[in-house]
């Protein structure tokens, strides 16, 4: 079996250099100037930051692993030949990587070529290897990567019940879970919310999502959350309870969802990750969802994650009869999103099954 060297193995040719020994352009997940393009440092920074930092990090990791692999074999990473890309894909297959992981690696390599001013690489042979890999997994019955388990309204109520609402962390987590579900929000969108993004009106809670994964121009969207019929899962009332608690510490600006230490103190800077203003990270949002789901006695084998709230919002609102277009725009999916259509199909697989009523 071929082995994939880690990102720090340099190899005798020097990882990250092209066939002529030149250092390739810094990888960013968008087209950057070719070498000598004359962009200022500030311009390059803004171009690089035009996509989420998380995407830049994973692409940089994929690119580092590829250049290390090519360096150990004396191959040129830029421009990479179809044969090199096919062999690397085969190495990833032999290492047991999932098809989605390999797809992302190929996307990172393609992005690096554009960043360095090269033509998009020929991925024909690599994709042929990947198609065979998918077919082999299907024939062998290899389990697919588990999708995030959806948080239903019933499970959301169970999760809220499991929280200790006599503590600041419990009040915060209730608001985070309920608002996250009601917005159909990505975990990054929840973490990015500021107090100034909320407006309480007679009709409910108005929330401004300033930017998101599919909003490349950061046009933003305004989402309306009406009052709910159950106090503990009403997005307006649980948010007001959290805002009132924040006000007791004179927090009237800054992040909406902040860290709470074991003594119940809000917004203290973490020793590791996190910003000094105490803002929760997207990773922390995911941990809160998983931790609360398990505390509520929900299926421990299910894949509870930050995406569980968003997926649950989509399936529950569609099951209740909401228009898919309104579901999409409320949750920030693009019109015709294949991901959202997949969630809808999960509901219609049974509700609109063509065999219902056929007389079997």
Neighbours of 213 (CB within 10 A): 14
- Looking at residue 21, what is its pLDDT? 43
Percent pLDDT > 90 in the chain is 55
**Residue-wise pLDDT tens digits, 174-207:** 999 999 999 999 999 999 999 999 999 999 999 9
The residue among 11 and 165 whose pLDDT is bigger is 165
260 CB-near residues (< 8 Å, 6+ apart)? 167, 168, 169, 172, 266
What is residue 238's three-state secondary structure?
helix
Residue among 70, 68, 88, 62 at smallest CA distance from 9: 68
What stretch(es) of the chain map to CATH 1.10.150.130?
1-143
- Looking at residue 101, what is its pLDDT? 92
**Residue-wise pLDDT tens digits, 239-289:** 999 999 999 988 889 999 999 988 888 876 655 556 778 899 889 999 999
Percent pLDDT > 70 in the chain is 84
What stretch(es) of the chain map to CATH 1.10.443.10?
153-351
Lowest mean pLDDT among 28-42, 132-146, 223-237: 28-42
User: CA 134 to CA 137: how far, in whole Å?
Assistant: 5
Q: What φ, ψ does residue 194 adopt, rounded to 5°?
A: -110, 160
CA distances from 150 to 90, 245, 306, 327 (A): 34, 29, 10, 15
Q: What is the pTM of this model?
A: 0.74
pLDDT band at 12 (very low <50, low <70, confident <90, very high): very low
- Looking at residue 35, what is its pLDDT? 45
Choose which CATH entry (3.40.50.2300, 1.10.10.410, 1.25.60.10, 1.10.443.10) describes domain 153-351.
Answer: 1.10.443.10
pLDDT beyond 60 at 222 = yes
Q: What is the mean pLDDT of residues 146-165?
A: 92
- Looking at residue 229, what is its pLDDT? 92
Residue among 279, 65, 98 at smallest CA distance from 190: 279
**Residue-wise pLDDT tens digits, 283-330:** 999 999 999 999 999 988 888 998 999 999 999 999 999 999 999 999
**Greatest CA separation for the chain:** 71
- Looking at residue 273, what is its pLDDT? 57
- Looking at residue 58, what is its pLDDT? 86
What is residue 40's three-state secondary structure?
coil
- Looking at residue 272, what is its pLDDT? 55
Q: What φ, ψ does residue 37 adopt, rounded to 5°?
A: -75, -15
Give every strand in the sheet of 198-200, ordered side by side: 198-200, 204-209, 221-226
Residue among 320, 288, 343, 329 at smallest CA distance from 159: 288
The overall average pLDDT reported for the chain is 84
pLDDT beyond 80 at 16 = no
- Looking at residue 270, what is its pLDDT? 56
pLDDT band at 51 (very low <50, low <70, confident <90, very high): low
* CATH class of segment(s) 1-143: mainly alpha
77 CB-near residues (< 8 Å, 6+ apart)? 16, 17, 18, 24, 66, 67, 70, 71, 84, 109, 112
Give the angle subtended at the CA of 64 by the CAs of 50 and 131, to the nearest 5°. Answer: 90
Give the angle subtended at the CA of 169 by the CAs of 165 and 175, to the nearest 5°. Answer: 75
Q: What is the mean pLDDT of residues 24-53?
A: 59
């Amino acid at each position: 079996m071929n082995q994939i060297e880690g990102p720090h193995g340099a190899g005798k040719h020097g990882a990250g250099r092209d066939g002529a020994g030149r250092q390739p352009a810094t990888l960013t997940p968008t087209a950057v100037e070719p070498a000598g393009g004359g962009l200022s440092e500030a311009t390059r920074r803004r171009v690089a930051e035009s996509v989420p930092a998380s995407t830049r990090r994973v692409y940089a990791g994929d690119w580092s692993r590829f250049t290390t692999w090519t360096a150990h074999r004396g191959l040129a990473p830029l421009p990479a030949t179809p044969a090199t890309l096919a062999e690397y894909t085969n190495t990833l297959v032999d290492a047991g990587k999932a098809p989605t992981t390999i797809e992302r690696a190929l996307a990172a390599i393609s992005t690096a070529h554009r960043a360095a001013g090269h033509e998009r690489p020929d991925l024909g042979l690599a994709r042929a290897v990947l198609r065979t890999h998918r077919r082999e997994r299907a024939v062998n019955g290899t389990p697919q990567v588990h999708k995030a388990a959806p948080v239903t309204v019933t499970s959301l109520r169970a999760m809220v019940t499991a929280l200790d609402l006599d503590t600041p962390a419990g009040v915060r987590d209730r608001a985070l879970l309920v608002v996250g579900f009601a917005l159909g929000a990505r975990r990054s969108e929840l973490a990015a919310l500021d107090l100034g993004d909320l407006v309480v009106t007679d009709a409910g809670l108005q929330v401004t999502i300033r930017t998101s994964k599919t909003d490349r121009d950061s046009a933003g969207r305004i989402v309306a959350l009406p009052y709910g019929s159950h106090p503990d899962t009403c997005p307006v009332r649980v948010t007001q309870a959290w805002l009132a608690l924040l006000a007791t510490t004179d927090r009237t600006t800054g992040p909406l969802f902040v860290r709470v230490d074991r003594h119940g103190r809000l917004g203290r800077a973490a020793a590791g990750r996190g910003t000094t203003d105490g803002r929760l990270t997207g990773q922390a949002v995911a941990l809160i969802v998983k931790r609360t789901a398990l505390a509520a006695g929900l299926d421990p084998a299910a894949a509870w994650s930050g995406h569980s709230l968003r997926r649950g919002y989509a399936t529950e609102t569609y099951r209740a009869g909401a228009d898919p277009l309104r579901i999409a725009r409320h949750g920030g999916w693009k019109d015709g999103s294949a991901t959202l259509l997949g969630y809808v199909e999960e509901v219609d697989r049974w509700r609109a099954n063509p065999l219902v009523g056929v007389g079997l």
